[in-house]
Structure formats: C-alpha cells, structure tokens
Amino acid sequence: MLLSVFLVLVTVSGTLAAQELKEFHVFMGEPLPDYPGSTIIGDIIRAETGVKLNREYLVGDLETKVGLMIASGDYPDMVIAAHFTSLLKDAGVLVPLNDLIEEHAPNIKRLYANHWEMLQQEDGNVYWLPIQAIPYGPDTSRYPSLGFFISKKVLKEAGWPVVKTLDEYFGLIEDYVKKHPTINGESTIGYLTLFDSWRSFATTNVPQHLMGYPNEGEFVPVLEQDRFVVRDYHTSNTAKAYYKKLNEMYNKGIVDKETFVMNYDQYIEKLSSGRVLGTFNQFWQLESAQNILLRDDPESIFVPFPVVIDGLVEEYQRDIPYVQSTQGMGITVSCKDPVGAIKYLDYLIREDTQRLIQWGIEGEHYEVDENGLYYRTDEQMALFRDPDWVQNVFGRQYFHNSFPSLRGVDENGNMFFPDTQPHLIYSSSHDSEKEVMDAYGVKSFSDLYNEPRERKYFPLWTITMPAGSPAHIEETRMKDVLNGYVPELVMSKPEEFEKVWANFVRDISPLMEKQMEVYQEGIDWRMENW
Amino acid sequence: MMIKKRYVNWEDIIINVFVYIILILLIIVTLYPFLNTLAISFNDALDSSKGGIHLWPRKFTLYNYKTLLTRRQIFHASLVSVARTVLSTFLCTFSTAMVAYTLSRKEFVLRKFISFVYVLTMYIDGGLVPTYFLIRSLGLTNSFWVYVLPGLVSAFNLIVIRTYINGLPDSLIESARVDGAGEFTIFFKIVLPLCKPVLATIALFVAVDNWNAWFDTFLYNSANPQLSTLQYELMKVLQSANTMTGSLEQALAQAAAGTVHTITPRAIRATMTIIVTVPIVIVYPFLQKYFVHGLTVGGVKE
Amino acid sequence: MNTSTSLAVKPNSFWQKLKQQKALVLMSVPFLIHVIIFKYIPIWGWVLAFQNYWPGKSVFQQTWVGLDNFRDLFNDPVFYQVLRNTLAMSIIKLVMGTVASIALALIINEVRFMPFKKAAQTISYLPHFISWVVAANLVRDALSTDGGIVNDVLLSLNIIKEPIMFLGIPKLFWWIIGISHVWKEVGWGAIIYLAAIAGIDPSLYEAAVIDGAGRLKQMWYITLPSIRPTISILLIMNMGYLLSSGFEQQYLLQNGRVIDYARVFTIYELDYGIKMMRYSFATAVGIFRSVVSLVLVFAANQFAKRFGQEGLM
C-alpha cells in the first residue's frame, strides 16, 4: 500500500516536468547545487531559444566520473569536463564543430576568430569551445589571480610596508603573532597553507612564483637564447629555501599545526574567522572567505603581494590574459540534434546574451551613463553583492561558469564582467579595500604587481598528458611523491630537514623526464603555430 | 538460568563493576558524536563556528533545517530512497529466503552446485566497467530498477538464512510432508513463519544497505535527477557545501542588518547528516528483538 | 506434489531426482539464472586485462597485449605499497574487530539488569546504521586539532601537552582505520556472538556452578568454546576479504599526507587505472585481487575442516 503510493508519487512528479521544449542533457564537470528550475536570466533564455537544459553537475570526483562515462559509451548531448576535454576527443566522444559553426553559428565564428588557430587540433578540426573568449581586448580585475596574502591588520600596524621577499613576509607575520598571540580570544594562526587533495597545488606550486613566474603548472618554461625550455622547479634552490622557511615557521608555531590535514571547508572557515594572518593561494580559492571578511570583519581582509625569494628576482606573476584553449564545451556523438545544440551555444555567446548574463536587464539591473558606460546604482549593487540572490534568483552561475562566454572589453568600451569595469573597480570597492589601495597609492590590487611578460604559449599547464601514457603515469607518481614529502619537509625537526630534502630530491628527480618531453613538444608546437 | 548466590562474592562484584564501566564508556563514545552533530544542526551556524558546542545547542535555531528541507530535490530524493528501501527489503528478503530453503533441503540435488555458485560471488567480481556494460545492455541505467534488481539475493544473507532453517526442528517439516504438503506449502506455511526472527534481521541488513547506498546512483542514475537518492544528495551537499555558502555571505549581510540567520558548510553537513541518519535510527530499535535470535552463523545446533 | 518420502524405490539417476524435485528447482533456478546474469556475465570483462582497451571500439577490435598489464602491475613499486597497506589494514580490522566483538558479547552477557542491557545493546548498534560518508565526517570532527573531542579530552587529562594531528600522521592511519572500524561495527559484530551464546545449553552452566566454577571460569570453559564454530566460520568468510575490504572508509578518511599508508587496492584501481583511462590495468588489478581472495578463502576453509570446524561450503 504505502509502497505503491510512493511509487505513484515518484512517477507522477517525473512526468509533470515534460513540456514542449527541445531538451539537451549537459554534463558539467564542476559541483554546483542543482538548477533552481527558474531564474531571471534562465527564463528569458528558455523563452527565446525554446531549449530546456537537463543539467548534470559533478558529484564525486571528476576523473572517476568521466573515466566511466568514456568507458561506458553513454554520453550526454553536451559536455564540459576540465582537463578531460582532450581525452574525450581522443576517445571519439566529441564531434568536429567546424562545419556546424560555419553553417549555423555566425556569432561563434566571429567571436572565437582570434583564438581559432589555438583551437584547431592536429586534424584541423575544432572540437570544443573554451569557456572564455576574449574577442575585443583584455580586462583587469580588482584582485590579481594569485599571491601571498597577508591580513590587512598586519600591514596597518606595520605602517603599510610593501612586501617583496619571503623573509619580509614572514617577518611581518612573526612580529604580529608575538604582539598578538590571540585574536578574539582564540590563538592567532600565523600562516595557513592549503593541502586538500587536488587543491594542494596551493602549497606545491609556490616555488615557481617565488622565482617570479606566473602560474605555469608543474614545470616552468625558461627562456634560454630564443627558445622556451621546460625546466623543473620542484627541486630548485628556491623550492628548498621555501620549504626550509615553512619548516622554520612550523617549528616556531607560526604555521598552523592542522594545515596539512584540513579540508577546503575548514580552510575557508579558518580564513573567514579573522584569526589567520597569511596564506598563499590563487584568489578564486579564497574569494569566498574574503567576501565573508568584507562583511563580518573588514579590518581582517587579505591583501595580495607578489612575493619572491629574494631581492634579486624580478616578478611577473600576473597572468597573461589567455584563453584556456585545451578545455571547453563540446557536443558529443550521442547528441541527436547537433544543429540545435550549436545554435543554442551560438545564442549564448552573442554579446546581447552575455550582457544579459553578466549585467542583467538595463534599467533594472544596471544603468547607462551619458558616455555609454554601464554602472549600477547602490540598490542594484546591493542586489549583486548578495551571492545567494545572484546564484538562485538571477541565475548567473548557471550560464556563466561552464558555458562559452565572453570576457574583457566589449564592442562599445564596457567590460563584459561588471566587476572589471575600470571606472568601477575602485569606486565600487569596499571602504576597507579603499583604505588599503589608498595607502599603497593604487586603484586595484592588481596594480601592486608588475605588468606580465609576453609568453605566447602561456600557460604550460593547459598541455595535458596523453591518457594512460607513461608520461601520465609518471605525472601521477610525481604528485604522489610531492604530496608525500611536502608535509614531511615542513613538519620535520629543523636538524632533519637536510636529510628529508635529500631523500625528496632522490625520489622525485627520476619522475620528470617523460612529462618534460611532452611539455617541451607542446610548447614548441605552440610557439610555432599560435 | 544461573543459580543465584546469596553470599558476598568478590568475583561477582568485580565483574559487575568492570562490566558497567566498560559499557558506560562504550555508550558515551558511541553517542557523543551523534549528539554533538545534533546539537550543531540545531545551533546557529555562525555561533557554531566559534567552537565549544558539545551536547546542547547554544543559540537554538531551526534555520539550518529550513534551508535544507525546502530544497525540492531533497524531498523528492527521500521519496526515492524510501521507495527503493521498502521494495528492495521486501523482494530481497523473500527471494533469499526461498533460495535458502531449497539449499537447506539435504536431498536437493542442485544444493551443492547452487551454494558454490553463490559463495563464489562473495569473492570475485568482473569489475566496475564490465558491470556497467551489463547494466546498460539490460536497459537498467536511468532506471529505478537498478536499485532493486542487481542485488536481489546476496550470498551472505543466503548463508545466514540457510543456517537458521537448518536449525529448525526437522520433525516439523517432515510431519508436514507426511501430511502430503508440497515444497511451496511447506515453505509458505511452515518455514516462513518460523523464520520471522532471521527474516527481520536480513530485512534490516538489506534496508540499511539500500538506505545508505549512493554509489549506484552515482554510476547509473546520475543523469536523471528524478532518480536521485537521499545519500546521493548528501554527497552533493558535502561537496558543494562551499558553493552553497553563497547563502552564508547573504546571511552575514543580513546579520549585519540585524536579521540574524546564517548557514556554514559545517552546519549544512551536520544538518544533512541528521536528516539522513534519523529515519534508519528510528526504525531499527523496533526490529531489535529479532536480531539475537535471527543471526546464527556456524551451527551451534548439535 | 508429494515428492520424496512416499517413493519406495530409491531413484538413482541425477535427472530422475531432479524431476522429482521440480518444486525445489522452480524455487531456486530462476534466482540461479539471476545471479549468473548479474554476477558471472560481467566476468567476461576479465578479457580486458589482456588487451590495451581503448573506449569506442568493440572488445574484438582491441589490441591484445598478453600479460603486459600484469607485468606492469608486478613491476610497479606502488603495487607493493598497496598490497602492504591492504593486508595490514584488513588484518588490523579483522583482529581488532573480532576481539572487540567477542569481548563485548561476553560483557553484555554478564549484565543482569535487563533495561540497562537492552539500552547498551541498542546504543552500541547505532553507528552500524550510518553510512561511511556520514561516519567519516564524525571521525574527522572528533579527531580535529581544533576543538575535536579526542584532543580536548587528552588535553584536559594532561596526557598530551598540545593537540595531536591524528589524521596527519602516516604511521597512525592504519590504527585510526582499525579503531574507527571497531567504533562503527563492534555493537553489530557482537550480535552474532550473542546469538551463539544464547544457543548454549543452560545445563552446561548449571553443571559448572555445581562444580564450583565462578563466572570467569564459566566464560572461559563454556562460553568461549561454545562459540568457536561461529568465530571460525566468520574468520574463514573474512579471509576472502583481506584484499578487498574497505574502500569507502579509507577513501573518505585519507588525505595527501597519509596516502602512502592509506591507498588500498580499490583506491589504486581508481587512481592508477580508471582515472587515467587505463581500464585494462584496472581490470588486471581486479583479477589479481579476486584470484588471491579465492585462494585465501579456500585455504582457510580446508584448514578449518582439517581442525574439525564447520566450513563455509
């Protein structure tokens, strides 16, 4: 009895949703709560395209999910799966898009024109669309993409010093901890480093930045004569100095004891508590904590600096604006209506739709001034400062993160992303942020960094190892060794450091050669063809 | 049972003290994590993040539950979970009992063969990918039945029920047979009613496994949100707790404005844990009286 | 349908017997077919191990590589680490779990005050009913250095001076797995032994009391020997799981710091197999696991039979 009632309920609610819309099943390789069903921009897009998306967001880990998807032969209509994109192509899952775009997608053709060479594979076909195209020109943002972040209160107390080297950075933190052993009644955490599963690059990728490089990944291409030569940095003197410094700080109690076992949630929770004085990371990994601090404890916000190992190194850590050419959204061989799918993507990418997704409806979500520049009133701004509203009512995340979109400057001088609108970066900043910017005489935190250097292939990390190849196995092993040794390097007794370091170098050195070959080949190809 | 002794027996006293101390410790160690989670789920999220919540909420709120339970996905997923659990429990228990009965008949010629086939399945499997292929070619992907059909009869449960039936007095079955009863009649009229304790135990095994399963949803039904289960939603929540804290920031903005309601990843985790755990925890004490009688592996029968 | 008893002439051929046992066949063979479909058909997938499987092609179009995948497996230093971890954790879990469950069963059996006995039992089962997804969260919270109850208690008892990062110490990981396993399953594990104890003939105890045996002696000379068959059959059954037990528990509690001690076979199959699209390699690992499991379980079964215990089959 009871059972049949449940079964009926389950089936009824299953059939109710069906309507006269074209449906596409899309898999997206990021975890996001399910689509709320109706959002401001989602409803407009659905009405204009007659397309209903069945979205499947990632649950569990991406590798397992996509590994099984590929093995099974059960594909969604459209798929975007981070670094698995090229594997999907190799496995014959993705259809070539050239003809579809030529015939049905004038906007895609026009807006991706700048990047077309990068997207062409060896067979001359294009199989996926990167999630961001930069059709007219790059933008700058309030925060640089990565840095050694330090609490505002440390800087303020020390009289706004410019932090250049690792020694200066930890010096400031150490002094502050000595003076303020507790914050809000709890012990002060001098430095926190994130080591949770795949996010551990926030700890292990640091040496390259201390050498001045932007984020290249596991290796750095060094300009030698006229050629970019792939070099290892994990065993460099800079890496050694970095881990030795962390080791020293750990043994002094500056680095949090729990830092190597906390997960990402705990990391964010600690950062948002205001007790943490410093952390290295890419900004997007700590953005949610920064937003919490801005509202809860604005004096404890984090300020990024391009810290290097010593005064001799010149930094160019800022990302060169790049299109993530090796990953993006593709249409699979299972899609029964590839024309409909490409038309849908073509609709999404056009400037008007992008403006709808990023800015909203004119007069309701943004205004246009006499110079044609967009801005938001205080009330509008308040709406968009509420992430829950933006995600669940407005619906931006559901059309932005995984779908092809545009960034940078648009065709009439505005920015596609409201928070990079140049005249708004400073004026729309929080008072607490303004205080820091004023103290350093800059209009955005990115200005604390040097201009990036031209590196045409940028970045190295978008080159992927062929699936299951010896280089791929070597990569997994190398990361295993790295993840095994780094905590030991940091947490061993100071007198044991040299021994651990020697073992680390011994174990990791044989695990690089094959990867470096693949990277070198990729870099050379890019320098030639891009 | 035991003959009571009327004089002071030091051995008795020492054993009693020891036994009570151990059991009380066990109760504390077992219950504390649950009560702590329960307290956090009912406590204001921002307040919890300051630490120091043990057995009782400091700032009581229902907001955490309201946030999660109003998500329609979670409501629908609990229906699916209940449906699969009820259906699987019923079908598996019945099927297993039937096979177990045939295996308990010493004269059954296929007895050894069938036992062997089942026991072997406890230790070998074809692996994730071939199993997936099979399920797909049977048309069970994106289907409710994938929750029920593949695990219909499990070798372990089979052994447990068979052992129990072996322990029943042979005379009952024999006399029924003399009266002219067939195998089906004997099974339904005599064996099943006598097996109540073991069936209740197995039913609980199956129910727990089904209620707690999420990997099958992940493998076979993740493309269809209508077939999502509560444990799978729990996995989602545990993973995207951070993307859900969009609402944390909003809540903090509200907190600044005076309307205090917040939610943090930790509070979400605690609340979801309670939502998923409570139903099964409510059910099992009712079946408990059967456990001890039902579970006999390895003949104690002489 | 009077099948067996009324026949005076003993049927001698297999088929004759089978015909007489129509009803039993009807009750079991459909399920036999079911288990063959769902459990045995996937075993054809073992051919993958001898190929270099690449998705998108049928099994017959794949390249055959003979024993290459097994050679890779036995040449992989990680494999030996995984073997060590799996065996170590399985044995720790098996020994700790069995000893704790038997001890708990004996202890519960000694409680004379029924309401307390029932309450203790009910509560001890509780963790069995939650999934590892949930349990792992509870374990993490309890072991945290930041307000985790274990550190708090040890600190307040002055046993340690500063919080210990339990989950970050590689050498401790096996024991954390063992202890959390005991925490979750001890109550449930004890049931099976309590059931066995309940089946012991009371006259044995009465005789012992007349002979002047105390409670400890009764436990040692009557209760323990009586549950020996149960202990041995459970041990045999678990022998087969030495290489496959526990995936979720390790998977959910591991972290980069302890991976060298946490990686067990199933995680290895994922990390070095499926995640890298080395499906054939993953299958080879699975075959190794299954074959060794079978050998272990049969060996244990024979061993038990030789020593006069009831076997599994």
| Confidence check: pLDDT of C243 > 70 | yes
Asked whether residue A290 falls in the same domain as residue A341, the answer is: no
Binned at pLDDT 50, 70 and 90, residue B297 comes out as low
pLDDT band at A47 (very low <50, low <70, confident <90, very high): very high
Checking if the pLDDT of C246 tops 80, the result is no
Q: How confident is the model at residue C11, as a pLDDT?
A: 55
Please report the beta strands in A88-134, taking only residues with DSSP state E, as ranges in sequence order: 132-133
Using the Cβ of B156 and the Cβ atoms of chain C, whether some distance falls under 8 Å is answered with: yes
Q: What is the mean pLDDT of residues A444-471?
A: 88
The three-state secondary structure class of B51 is: coil
Check whether residue A483 and residue A442 sit in a common domain: yes
Of A71, A260, A484, the CB nearest to C168: A260
Of C163, C270, C279, the CB nearest to A71: C279
Averaged pLDDT for residues B264-268 = 77
pLDDT band at B73 (very low <50, low <70, confident <90, very high): confident
C65, two tokens? 């590589």
Q: Indicate the residue of C18, C149, C216 with minimum beta-carbon distance to B109.
A: C18
Asked, for residue A14, whether it belongs to a domain, the answer is: no
Same structural domain for residues A374 and A269?
Answer: no
Q: What is the pLDDT of residue B295?
A: 63
User: Do A333 and A231 fall within a single domain?
Assistant: no
C295 to chain B: nearest residue by CA?
A: B123
What's the pLDDT score for residue B249? 39
Residue ranges of B 247-276 with Cβ closer than 8 A to chain A: 247-250, 252-253, 255-256, 264-266, 269
Whether the CB-CB separation of B228 and B77 falls below 8 Å is answered with yes
- Average pLDDT on A188-213 reads 92
Check whether residue A133 and residue A151 sit in a common domain: no
- Could you give the ipTM of this predicted complex? 0.80
Q: Percentages helix, strand, coil for chain C, rounded to the nearest 5? A: 75, 0, 25
Is A221 found in the same domain as A133? Answer: no
- pLDDT confidence bin for A367, thresholds 50/70/90: very high
- The answer on A300 and A435 residing in a single domain is yes
- A6 domain residue, yes or no: no
Q: How confident is the model at residue B254 (pLDDT cuts 50, 70, 90)?
A: very low
**Is A10 among the domain residues?**
no
Domain boundary among A421, A447, A466: A421
- Of B80, B222, B243, nearest to A31 by CB-CB distance is B243
Quote the number of domains for chain A. Answer: 2
Chain B residue with minimal CA distance to A271? B49
Interchain proximity A10–B235, CB inside 8 Å? no
Residue C146 contacts A, CB cutoff 8 Å:
yes
What's the rounded Cα separation, in Å, for the pair A101 and A349?
12
How far is C17 from B22, CA to CA, in rounded Å? Answer: 56
Among chain A residues, CA nearest to B249: A292
B3 has a pLDDT exceeding 60:
no
* Interchain contact, B298 vs C229, CB within 8 Å: yes
DSSP state of C234: H
C163 touches chain A (CB under 8 A): yes
For residue C185, pLDDT beyond 60: yes
Cα separation, A445 vs A305, in Å, equals 9
Gap from B28 CA to chain C (nearest CA, Å): 9
Residue A75's CATH number: 3.40.190.10
For residue A66, is pLDDT > 80? Answer: yes
Residue B235, chain A, CB below 8 Å: the answer is yes
Residues A108 and A257 in one domain: no
Measured CB to CB, residues of chain A less than 8 Å from chain C are 61, 63-64, 67-68, 70-71, 73, 87, 91-93, 195-197, 200, 257-258, 260-261, 263, 266, 270, 467-468, 472-473, 476-477, 480, 483-484, 487
For residue C168, pLDDT over 90 is answered with no
Q: B134 and chain A: CB distance < 8 Å anywhere?
A: no
Cis preceding linkage at A459, omega within 30: yes
* Token pair belonging to B52: 């120091």
Whether residues A451 and A312 share a domain: the answer is: yes
| pLDDT of res. A361 | 94
Residue B173's CB is within 10 A of a number of other CB atoms, namely: 21
* Region B284-290 average pLDDT: 77
* Helix H or strand E segment including A53: strand A51-57
pLDDT digits (tens, 9 = 90+) for C53-102: 877 677 677 888 889 999 999 999 899 999 999 999 999 999 999 999 99
Please name the member of C123, C142, C290 whose beta carbon is closest to the beta carbon of B33.
C142
Q: Please, which chains are in contact with B (at least 3 CB pairs closer than 8 A)?
A: A, C
Q: Which helix or strand (DSSP H or E) is residue A453 part of?
A: none
pLDDT at residue B18 above 70?
yes
Residue A249 and residue A198 share a domain: yes
Nearest residue of chain B to residue C15 (CA atoms): B109
Contact A154, A254 (CB under 8 A): no
Of the candidate ranges A210-214, A456-460, C19-23, C255-259, the one whose mean pLDDT is the lowest: C255-259
Q: Does residue A208 sit in the same domain as residue A174? A: yes
pLDDT in the model for residue C118: 86
Contact B163, B297 (CB under 8 A): yes
Burial (Cβ within 10 Å: 0-12, 13-18, ≥19) of residue B140: buried
B217 shares contact with chain C (CB less than 8 Å):
no
Q: Does B166 touch chain C (CB under 8 A)?
A: no
CB contact under 8 Å between C78 and A477, yes or no, is: yes
What CATH number is given for C78-131+184-306 in this structure?
1.10.3720.10
- Which chain B residue shows the shortest CA-CA distance from A274? B50
Check residues A506 and B256 and name the one with the higher pLDDT: A506
- More confidently predicted of A74 and C24: C24
Write the burial class of residue B283 (CB in 10 Å: 0-12 exposed, 13-18 middle, 19+ buried): middle
First to last CA, chain C: 30
The residue whose two tokens read 């209740």 is B200
Chain B residues with CB-CB distance to C2 below 8 A: 177, 180, 182
The verdict on a CB contact (< 8 Å) between B153 and C46 is: no
Residue A13 in any domain: the answer is: no
Domains and CATH numbers, chain B: 62-294 (1.10.3720.10)
Residue B150 has pLDDT above 80, yes or no: yes
- How high is the mean pLDDT of chain C? 85
How high does pLDDT run on average in chain B? 81
Q: What is the spatial distance between Cα A42 and Cα A142, in angstroms, rounded to a whole number?
A: 28
Neighbours of chain A (3+ CB pairs under 8 A): B, C
Interchain contact B107–C (C-beta under 8 A): yes
Domain that holds residue A43: 20-137+323-421
* Three-state helix/strand/coil letters over B172-211: HHHHHHHCCCCHHHHHHHHHHHHCHHHHHHHHHHHHHHHH
For residues B272-299, average pLDDT: 75
The rounded mean pLDDT for chain A is: 88
Place of tokens 């017997």: C17
Is the CB of B250 less than 8 angstroms away from the CB of A14?
A: no
Label residue C7 by pLDDT band (50, 70, 90). Answer: very low
pLDDT at A12 over 60: no
A278-296: average pLDDT: 88
| Per-residue pLDDT tens digits for B153-212 | 988 889 889 988 888 888 888 888 888 888 888 899 889 998 888 898 888 889 988 998
* pLDDT (average), residues B51-79: 83
Contacts (Cβ under 8 Å, ≥6 apart) of B93: B199, B202, B203, B206
3-state helix, strand, coil in chain A (%, to 5): 50, 15, 35
pLDDT digits (tens, 9 = 90+) for A393-445: 999 889 987 899 998 889 888 999 888 888 788 888 889 999 999 999 999 99
- Out of A67, A200, A483, closest to residue C277 by CB: A67
Residues in A touching B236 (Cβ below 8 Å): 31, 33-34, 57, 59
Provide the pLDDT for residue B244: 46
- Rounded to the nearest angstrom, the minimum Cα separation between B34 and chain C is 8
Given A421, A446, A473, the domain boundary residue is: A421
Mark residue A105 as left, alpha or beta (left: phi above 0; alpha: psi -120 to 50; beta: remaining). beta
Per-residue model confidence (pLDDT) at position C312: 61
Q: Which residues pair with A415 in a beta bridge?
A: A409
Q: Does B221 touch chain A (CB under 8 A)?
A: no
Range C138-167 average pLDDT: 85
pLDDT of residue B284: 80
Q: Answer yes or no: is A9 within a domain.
A: no
Residue A515 has pLDDT above 60, yes or no: yes
Query: Which of A34, A186, A387 has its CB closest to that of B73?
Result: A34
Does pLDDT of A2 surpass 50?
no
Q: Is B87 on the interface with A (CB under 8 A)?
A: yes
Candidate from C55, C256, C278 with C-beta closest to A200: C256
Q: Are residues A183 and A64 in the same domain?
A: no
| Whole-number pLDDT of residue A7 | 45
Q: Is the pLDDT of residue C169 over 60?
A: yes
Average pLDDT over residues C228-249: 80
Tell me the mean pLDDT in the region C35-44: 91
Q: Do B134 and C37 touch (CB under 8 A)?
A: yes
**C261 interfaces chain A, CB cutoff of 8 Å:** no
The angle, 0 to 180 degrees and rounded to 10, between the axes of the packed helices B72-104 and B196-212 is 140
Does pLDDT of B46 surpass 80?
no
Last residue of a domain, one of A374, A392, A421: A421
Cβ contact B117:C311 at 8 Å: no
**Torsions phi, psi for B123 (to 5 deg):** -120, -15
